[in-house]
Each structure stands twice: as C-alpha cells, then as structure tokens.
C-alpha cells in the first residue's frame, strides 16, 4: 500500500509500461493515476450500493451499476459509450405512449 491507497501503484506501473503509451513514466504519475482510479471506483460503488439499498436487495448486480452510472450526470458523461452486460435500461415511458387525460365524468355533467 503505497501513498495510502488501496489500488496497487506497482500494477498501474506495470500496465503503463506494458501498454507502450510513453517512453518514460514519473513516480508521481503512477500514484496520481492509482488515486484517480480508486476515487472513481469508490464513487461508482457508493452509488451502486445506494441503488441496491433502494431496491431492498443485499447484493450489487450489474443492474445497480447501470442505474448508478446513468442517474449521475458526470459518470454518465464519462461512461456514456460503455455498455454494461445485463445492466438493462433506465425506466422511462415516453409521453406519447401514456394514456391521454380526458375530462372527468363530473366535469361533463356540469357543462350540460
């Protein structure tokens, strides 16, 4: 546990070297990137945990991740092009598909 993080800085370093993104990698870069990944993970898991609690369930499933990400404006912008397997879609019904509001029976009787 380097720099007080839970995410492994050494593994981030290995992945950056393996990916051939740049020739040289500074030590501060590794800690910063690991911290950003840890923060994003914590944010998504917190929102997914809230969605799990709202649905009165005990286990976080892909559906809860999907609801957490799509209901958060910034996470939705960041992960807009990501498809989560078994995540489903946000519940919404288009206004065109809803039944039309008609005048009540009492209102019709009063107008006569």
Angle ∠(85,87,88) on CA atoms, nearest 5: 120
DSSP string, 55-110: TT-SS--HHHHHHHHHHSHHHHHHTTT---TT--------GGGSPPP---HHHHHH
pLDDT score recorded for residue 107? 63
Domains along the chain? 9-90 (1.10.20.10)
- Overall pTM > 0.75: yes
Angle ∠(11,16,21) on CA atoms, nearest 5: 175
| Ordered per-residue pLDDT tens for the chain, 112 residues | 567 899 999 999 999 999 999 999 998 999 999 999 999 999 999 999 999 999 999 999 999 999 999 999 999 999 999 999 999 998 888 888 889 887 665 666 666 6
The token pair that represents 15 in the structure block = 């992945």
The token pair that represents 27 in the structure block = 């030590």
């Amino acid at each position: 546990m380097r720099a007080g993080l839970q995410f492994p800085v050494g593994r981030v370093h290995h992945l950056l070297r393996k990916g051939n993104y740049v020739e040289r990698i500074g030590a501060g870069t590794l800690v910063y990137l690991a911290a950003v990944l840890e923060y994003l993970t914590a944010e998504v898991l917190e929102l997914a945990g809230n969605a799990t609690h709202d649905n009165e369930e005990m286990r976080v499933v892909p559906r809860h991740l999907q609801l957490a990400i799509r209901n958060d404006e910034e996470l939705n912008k960041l992960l807009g092009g990501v498809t989560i397997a078994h995540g489903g879609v946000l519940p919404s019904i288009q206004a065109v598909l809803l039944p039309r509001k008609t005048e009540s029976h009492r209102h019709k009787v009063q107008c006569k």
